[in-house]
Amino acid sequence: MSTVTSQPEVPAGVKLPLYMDNHATTQMDPRVLEAMIPFFTNKFGNAASRNHSFGWEAEQAVDVAREQIAKLIGATAKEIIFTSGATESNNLAIKGIAEMYRERGNHIITQVTEHKAVLDTCKRMEKQGYRVTYLPVNADGLIELEDLKRAMDDKTILVTIMFANNEIGVIQPMAEIGKLCRERGVIFHTDAVQAVGKVPIDVNALNIDVLSLTAHKIYGPKGVGALYVRRRNPRVQIAAQIDGGGHERGMRSGTLNVPGIVGLGKACELAREEMQSETERLTAMRDRLKNKLESNLDFVHINGSMKHRLPGNLNMSFVHVEGESLLMGINDIAVSSGSACTSATLEPSYVLKALGLGDDVAHSSIRFGLGRFNTTAEVDYVADKVIDVVQKLRELSPLYEMAKEGIDLTKVQWQAH
């Protein structure tokens, strides 16, 4: 048996370790950093200082960023509220809307594959007397509109459905959800962290009322995000969750993180300018990776819809190989796994389980997240290495051997421990 950790030849231009986990975070674009630097040093003013040039300079930079962000999602600058990131944006949206519209109703609708920042916030709302419906998803990872229709009642005040999923990259039917919410007079919030800057978004065309986004997923800095809050048709109100100086139209107090905001604005501008070419490039690379893996390995499974999916996402299960052992074999490549062994809770990915996949398939899953700084040479290296390690681990796998012998693994009496 040769060694499992594989050493394929490293092609020219591929530097190790190699990052392909761009749903977790992204490398900051040097152009973003360049825009930010002055605001750490000589342009250090407080954007809320109204009576001197230091403050004006900061405020002006913040206004530019607001425009850049608004333009990316078809909003107006005044509708952008700055936060510390998407977790705060999601908390502010859900808690702030629930509190503000308590008189009108107490029912919130979400779905099972949301990020924990939404799910855990909804769970807290349940403890506070709100009713929450968690819609299921189909095998593709998408909600059924009929389920949403059925779940809505006269007490429904908020629908919060993510734009694109962070694990499987699937894009929910936003236009249809938005239309339904508008018809019923229900506020529509979306956690669009993975979708902003990756796919075209127009909050008016899609009838989105509130939208969470963050900088570090789009080659900007960590610790800064925004919440889009619709100002007209209809005007959405949000109860502040942080008390203080009344910044951001009273919705989010706290001195603005000016360098971070400048970075977020620049990141949005670049994402908008380069979206079309990036989409083509990433889709081609993702499909190349998928085709290489599929044509060289048996028992592979694509998790989630390929049709409704972010360009840079591939989530694949290498059945009969456990995810963490696979990550160990490709330890110079940064990707993620839905395996229980890689999670703090020792539970396999709840997103993959929600698709109706067995735990065994979830344990075998790898999420590839391609981004702006990945190259085709890197894709080829990753494909070769994954193929090599999967093959070696399958030589070690009793399940693969049994499956090859034609044994139906679901009929085996396992001794669960």
Partner 1 sequence: MAYSEKVIEHYNNPRNVGQMDKSSTEVGTGLVGAPECGDVMRLQIKVNPLTRVIEDAKFKTFGCGSAIASSSLATEWVKGKTVDEALEIKNTDIVKELSLPPVKIHCSVLAEDAIRAAIGDWKKKNVVGGEQVSASAAVAAN
Question: CB of residue 359 vs partner 1: minimum separation in angstroms?
Answer: 4
CB 203 within 8 A of CB 190: no
- Give the Cα separation of 111 and 134 in Å (integer): 4
Q: Which of 12, 243, 346, 406 binds partner 1 (CB under 8 A)?
A: 346
Question: CB of residue 351 vs partner 1: minimum separation in angstroms?
Answer: 16
CA 331 to chain centroid: 24
- Give the Cα separation of 141 and 135 in Å (integer): 11
CA-CA-CA-CA torsion for 176, 179, 180, 185, nearest 10 degrees?
Answer: 160
List the beta strands (DSSP E) in 50-130: 80-83, 107-111
The values of phi and psi at residue 134, to 5°, are: -105, 105
- Give the Cα separation of 118 and 94 in Å (integer): 8
**DSSP-derived 3-state class of residue 333:** strand
Nearer to partner 1, 154 or 408 (CB): 408
Please, which of residues 314-343 interact with partner 1 by CB under 8 A? 320-322, 324-325, 328-329, 339-342
CA 137 to chain centroid: 17
* Site residue total, partner 1 (CB under 8 A): 33
Of the listed pieces 42-50, 197-205, 270-278, 407-415, which binds partner 1 according to CB under 8 A?
407-415
Mark 5-24 with x for binding to partner 1 (rule: CB under 8 A) and - for no binding.
x-------------------
Question: CB of residue 330 vs partner 1: minimum separation in angstroms?
Answer: 12
Q: Name which of 115, 111, 313 is nearest 213 in CA terms.
A: 115
Q: Name which of 267, 276, 353, 364 is nearest 315 in CA terms.
A: 364
Residue 398 burial (CB < 10 Å; 0-12/13-18/19+)? exposed
Of the listed pieces 68-76, 117-125, 242-250, 399-407, which binds partner 1 according to CB under 8 A?
399-407
Question: CB of residue 205 vs partner 1: minimum separation in angstroms?
Answer: 43
Q: Which of 37, 183, 401, 404 binds partner 1 (CB under 8 A)?
A: 401
Question: CB of residue 334 vs partner 1: minimum separation in angstroms?
Answer: 14
Question: CB of residue 303 vs partner 1: minimum separation in angstroms?
Answer: 16
Question: CB of residue 404 vs partner 1: minimum separation in angstroms?
Answer: 12
Of the listed pieces 123-131, 150-158, 308-316, 390-398, which binds partner 1 according to CB under 8 A?
390-398
Please, which of residues 347-376 interact with partner 1 by CB under 8 A? 348, 358-360, 363
Nearer to partner 1, 4 or 199 (CB): 4
The residue behind tokens 């990776």 is: 289
Q: Does 408 bind partner 1 (CB under 8 A)?
A: no
Mark 272-311 with x for binding to partner 1 (rule: CB under 8 A) and - for no binding.
----------------------------------------
- Give the Cα separation of 360 and 329 in Å (integer): 19
Question: CB of residue 412 vs partner 1: minimum separation in angstroms?
Answer: 8
User: Per the structure block, which two tokens stand in for 42?
Assistant: 């000589």
- Give the Cα separation of 215 and 323 in Å (integer): 29
Q: How close are the terminal C-alpha atoms of the chain, in Å?
A: 29
Mark 142-161 with x for binding to partner 1 (rule: CB under 8 A) and - for no binding.
--------------------
122 as an active site residue: the answer is no
**Catalytic pick from 122, 181, 268, 341?**
341
- Give the Cα separation of 162 and 180 in Å (integer): 15
User: Per the structure block, which two tokens stand in for 70?
Assistant: 């608004």
Of the listed pieces 3-11, 19-27, 208-216, 272-280, which binds partner 1 according to CB under 8 A?
3-11
Nearer to partner 1, 37 or 396 (CB): 396
CB 131 within 8 A of CB 108: yes
In the complex, the residues that contact partner 1 under the rule CB under 8 A are 1, 3-5, 320-322, 324-325, 328-329, 339-342, 346, 348, 358-360, 363, 395-401, 409, 414-417
Q: Which active-site residues does the annotation give?
A: 341
